[in-house]
Amino acid sequence: MKIAIASDHGGFALKQQIMDYLAELGYEYKDFGCFNEESMDYPDIAFPTAQAVASGKFERGILICGTGIGVSICANKVHGIRCALCGDILSAQLTRQHNDSNMLAMGGRIIGSETAKAITRTWLETEFSGGRHQRRIDKISALDR
């Protein structure tokens, strides 16, 4: 699975830790920025990352900003993206099972690195349940058209 990952300055430190963790787990990823802790605008990294996932070049994407809110709002503006802001393991599991989320957002100033790693692993390893949930995804996708 190929993963697109990005952060703004508020999520930079956590992104570095998550990229190390992805490598540990054997995932291939591409860093879409930012590349230091200088202040920058989160839409500048969120939109290109979400577009890379929506295009099919990457199966999933991870976005991190200070709270995770800004990047998740941006990502969800991109056709075909279902980005979930998660701060706990159960939400990460359920957003994959029920919502087939293809992007994960986290808050670098909100959760610690061990929690973020557990969320990431759960989100990557959990499969979509399909069934009645597919009907709901289809209704969401209809609005994207």
Active site amino acids: 65, 98
Judged by DSSP in three states, 74 sits in: helix
Residue 136, both tokens: 């709901």
Unique residue bearing structure tokens 């994960």:
104
CA proximity to 17, closest of 53, 66, 56, 64: 64
Is the CB of residue 31 less than 8 Å from the CB of residue 18?
Answer: no
Three-class DSSP category at 103: strand
CA 30/CA 38 separation, integer angstroms? 20
Q: CB neighbours (10 Å) of residue 126?
A: 16
